[in-house]
Amino acid sequence: MLASIIASGLAVGAVYALIGITYNTMFATSRVMSFTAGQLGMLGGVFGSLFTLRLGLPILPALVLTLACCALIGVVTEIVAVRPVLKSLDQHLYVLTTLAVALLIQHMTAMEWSTEPQPFPRLLDLGSGIWDEKYWLPVAVCILTILGLEYLYRRTLVGRAFVAIAEDNFAARALGLPERNLRIASYALAGAIGALAGFAGGQLLLAFFANGPLLNFYGFIPVALGGLGNNRGAVIGGFLLGLFQQAANFLVGGIFSSVAVFTLFIIVLLAAPQGMFGAQAARRV
Amino acid sequence: MTITRRALALGGTSLAAGAAFSTHLATPALAQNEPIRIGWLAALTGPSSAPGIGFNRGVLFAAEAINAAGGVKGRRVEIITRDTQGDPTKAVNATQEMISQLRVHAIWGPTNSGESLAVTAIMARAKMPNIHPCVVDTLIDERRYPNAFRLTPSNTQWDDAVRSYCLTRVNAKKVAVIGDTTGYGVSAVNASVAAFQRDKAEVVYKANIDATQPDMTPDMLRARNAGAEAIVFWSVSTGLIARLLNTRANMNWDVPFVGHPAMSSGEVGSLVERPANWEKVYAIGYKSCSYDASGNLPPRTAELVRRLAGKVNLQDSLLWWVSSAIDAVELIAKAVEASNSTAKEAIIEHWNGLKAYPGYYGTYTYSPTQHNGYPTEEVVMSAANSAKNGAFALAPGY
C-alpha cells in the first residue's frame, strides 16, 4: 500500500507542481495569476491524444505540436485577457478576464473534442505495476523542467531578462529591456509547461475536458504552499500535496480526502501566510 | 378613397368575426382529418445526444410505418421535434411552445431526467399526455402528475434488478457500493446501500469517488480488504469506470462489477488498457434486447430488427433506444385509435387501462395508480463487453 501511495502521490504531485510552475511563469512577468493554467494542462492531454491517436502522428512530433499549440494559446491569453487589464492590476480584473478565457477553452474543448474522457496513448511502453511509466514519467518531466528553468534563468541572457522583469518591472524597462515581448515569451513558455504537465500525466488523467478546473484548483495549492513566484517551492509543495492527497485517499476515502487537503492547506497558510518557502514581503512605511 | 379609423375598425371586426365563424364551422371536418401531432422533446445535440439520436431513429421509423399503412383511421402521424440539447431551460421553452402554440396531442420525452424534472409540472398543469424514458423515481407521481407515464424502468427497478442479480446469481453476500460524487451518484449509492441492508446483505464498503480522481487504487484496495464479493456501481462516468476496471486488473482481482448501463458504453471499451479488463462486468440491460446463450434475440425483437434492416443504423446506437421510441409513438397512436379521439383525457384514460400491452421494448401495464409500466422482471444484466447491433448478451446465470 505504501509503495502505491508513493508512486501515485508523486505522479499526481508532479503534475500539480508543473501547473504551479505554469502559474508562476505567467505571474513572474505580469503579476497576474492567470486561471488558464489548469486549462493548459488539460489541453496538453487533449492535444496529445488528438495528434497521436486520432491523427496518428508519432510521439515526438505530437509532443512538439502539443507544446506549440499550448504556447500559442498562452500568447493569445496574454493578448486578450492580461494585457488589457495590466494598467489596473490593483482592481484584480485579471481574475475575471482569465477565468473567462479558461471557461471559453473548457467549453470549446467540450464541444469540439468530447464530453467523455478519451484515451491517451502509452508513450514509451516501459514499466509495470508501481514502476509503470504513467507514474514515473510525470516525475521525470517535472524534474527535467525545473532543471531546464534553472538553466534558463541562471545561464542565459533571455532567462536573466525574465528574472529582471520579475524582480523590478520598472527598473528593467528603464534599462531598455523589451518588457512586452518578454511577457509574451513568458506566456508562451507557460503554455508549453502546462502542455507538458498534461502530456506527461495523460495516462493518469486521460484526455478529458473536466481536468481543467481540477488542475486549476490543485495546481494553485503548490503555488500558495511554496510561495508565489517560487518554482522550487511549487515543486516541493506539489509533491507534498500529491503524497498527502493519496495518503488521505487511502486512509479516509475520496470525498473526505479533498476536505483533508483543503483543511491542511488552510492550516499551513494560517501558520505561514507567505507560503512555506516564500520570503516575508517587506513593506515600505 | 379615404380610410377612416372607424371604417378600419369596423372592417377589422368583421374580418375577425368572419374568420372565427368559418373556423368554428370547419372544426369537425378538420378534427377528423387533421394529423395526430406528437411533440418530441429530443436531445439531438449536446453532451447527451447519443441516446437522443437513437430514440429519434425509432420515432421516425414508427411514424413512417404508421403513415405508410394509412395512418390512424386515416389520420397521419406528425412528429414535431424540438432539439433541447439536453438543456432543461430549452426543454421548458420547447414544452411551452408545444402546449400553447403547436397544440400537440401528446408529448414523448424529454429523454433525460434533468430535463424531465424541469418540464413535468408544466405538462401536468396543461394535462398534456406525456410518456418518457427517464429513470428518476420522483418523475412519476400519479396524484400530482396524472398525465405522466414512464416507459422505462425507474431507478428503484434498476436497483432491484442489480441487487437481485448480485444476491441470487453471483451469490455475493458482501458487496461494495461505489458511485460518483454527483447528485445522482450520491443518491443512487445511498438508495442501493439501504436496499441491500434491507435484504440482510452486508455492504462492506461504500464510496463516492470524484470522476476526475486519477488513481483508483485506494478505493479498490479498501473494497478488497473489506472482503467485497461484488462491486455495485452507479455512475455514468466512463472515465471512472475504465479506471476502476484497469485498477482491478492491475490488482489481479476478478471481482465482478454489476450496475449502471454506462458500464457497457463503447467509450469504456476504448479506455480500458486491455480488452480483458472489461470481462466480468455486468450492466443493466433488457430481456427484449438481449441475446440468449445461442446468440438469438427474442422472436418479436428479431422480427423488429429484420424490419429495421437497411432503414435504421444500429451500429452506433442501442437497440432499446430505437425500440422504446417505436413503442412510445405506437402507444400514442393506439390510444387515439382506441378512443377515437385526440382529446388529452381520452389518451390518458386509454393508457390508464393498458394491461400487458406487448411493445417491442417491454410489456407495459398502467393503471390510474401505477404509471411505472415496465415490468421489473424484464430488467436483466448484460455482459457489458458484448455489444452487437445495439444489443447485448445476457450475463451468466440466466
| Options 1.20.140.10, 3.30.70.100, 3.40.50.2300, 3.30.420.40; CATH of B33-155+301-375 | 3.40.50.2300
Whether A112 and chain B come into contact, CB under 8 Å, resolves to: no
Q: What is the pLDDT of residue A37?
A: 97
Do B218 and A253 count as a contact with CB atoms less than 8 A apart?
A: yes
Q: How far is B47 from chain A (nearest CA, A)?
A: 6
Of B221, B238, B271, the CB nearest to A1: B221
Pairing of strands B174-180, B230-234: parallel
- Residue partners of A214: CB distance under 8 A and separation at least 6: A38, B212
Beta strand B230-234 pairing with B257-259: parallel
How does A5-26 read in b/e, with b if 16+ C-beta sit within 10 Å? Answer: bbbbbbbbbbbbbbbbbbbbbb
Contacts of B251 in chain A (CB under 8 A): none
Which contiguous run of DSSP H or E holds residue B42? strand B36-42
Q: Are B132 and B148 in contact (CB under 8 A)?
A: yes
Contact assessment for residue A264 and residue B190, using Cβ atoms and an 8 Å cutoff: no
Q: Which amino acid is at A209?
A: F
Q: Is A39 on the interface with B (CB under 8 A)?
A: no
Which alpha helices (DSSP H) does chain A contain, by range? 2-30, 37-49, 59-77, 93-112, 133-155, 157-167, 169-174, 179-200, 202-205, 211-226, 231-252, 254-271
CB B150 within 8 A of CB B132: yes
Q: Which CATH number fits domain B156-293+381-393: 3.40.930.10, 3.90.170.10, 1.10.3720.10, 3.40.50.2300?
A: 3.40.50.2300
pLDDT at A64: 97
Per the document, the length of chain A is 285
Q: What is the ipTM of this complex?
A: 0.81
Q: Which of A8, A205, A254 sits opposite B207 (nearest CB)?
A: A254
Contact B117, B41 (CB under 8 A): no
B260, amino acid identity: H
Distance separating alpha carbons of residues B61 and B67, to the nearest angstrom = 10
Nearest residue of A to residue B212, measured between CA atoms: A211
Q: What is the DSSP letter of B261?
A: G
- pTM of the shown model: 0.81
Q: What is residue B5's three-state secondary structure?
A: helix
> Residues of A111-123 as b/e, b for ≥16 C-beta within 10 angstroms?
eebbebbbbbeeb
The distance from CA B243 to its chain's CA centroid, rounded to whole angstroms, is 27
List, for residues A48-62, the tens digit of each pLDDT value.
Answer: 999 999 999 999 999
**CA atoms of B288 and B285, how far apart (whole Å):** 9
| Mean pLDDT, residues A177-205 taken together | 95
Please give chain B's pLDDT, 398 residues, in tens.
Answer: 455 555 555 555 554 444 444 444 444 444 667 899 999 999 998 766 888 999 999 999 999 999 999 999 999 999 999 999 889 999 999 999 999 999 999 999 999 888 999 999 999 999 999 999 999 999 999 999 999 999 999 999 999 999 999 999 999 999 999 998 887 888 899 999 999 999 989 999 999 998 888 889 889 999 999 999 999 999 988 899 999 999 999 999 999 999 999 999 888 998 999 999 999 999 999 999 999 999 999 999 999 999 999 999 888 889 999 999 999 999 999 999 999 999 999 999 999 999 999 999 999 999 999 999 999 999 999 999 999 989 999 999 88
Record: contact A206-B250, CB cut-off 8 A: no
Query: How far from A16 is each of A21, A122, A132, A285, B264, CA to CA, in Å?
Result: 9, 21, 19, 37, 32
Rounded Cα–Cα distance for residues A211 and B251 (Å): 25
- Contact residues, chain B, for A214 at CB < 8 Å: 212
Measured between its terminal Cα atoms, the distance across chain A in Å is: 53
Q: Which residues of A137-164 are buried (b: 16+ CB within 10 A; e: fewer)?
A: bbbebbeebbeebeeebeeeeebebbeb
The amino acid sitting at B346 is A
Cell of B287: 430481456
At residue A284 the predicted structure's pLDDT band, cuts being 50, 70 and 90, is low
Nearest Cα residue to A8 out of B249, B235, B219, B224: B219
Instruction: Tell me the shortest Cα–Cα distance from A177 to chain B, in angstroms.
Output: 43
CB A73 within 8 A of CB A187: no
Residues of chain A neighbouring B270 (CB-CB closer than 8 A): 118-119
Looking at the complex, report in whole angstroms how far the Cα of residue B35 sits from the nearest Cα belonging to chain A.
37
Secondary element (H or E) of residue B205: strand B202-209
- Residue B55: how many other CB atoms lie within 10 Å: 27
Burial group, residue B62, by CB count within 10 angstroms (0-12, 13-18, 19+)? buried
A210, exposed or middle or buried, with CB in 10 Å at 0-12, 13-18, 19+? buried
* pLDDT tens-digit series, residues B80-121: 999 998 899 999 999 999 999 999 999 999 998 889 999 999
Q: Classify residue A266 by burial, with Cβ atoms within 10 Å: 0-12, 13-18, 19+.
A: exposed
pLDDT value for B212: 81
- Res A277: pLDDT: 73
Q: In which residue ranges of chain B is CATH 3.40.50.2300 found? A: 33-155+301-375, 156-293+381-393
Beta bridge partners of B130: B107, B148
Nearest in space to B42 (alpha carbons), one of B96, B104, B108, B101 = B108
The residue of chain A nearest to residue B178, with distances taken between CA atoms, is A254
Contact (CB<8Å) B213/A117: no
Q: How confident is the model at residue A263 (pLDDT cuts 50, 70, 90)?
A: confident
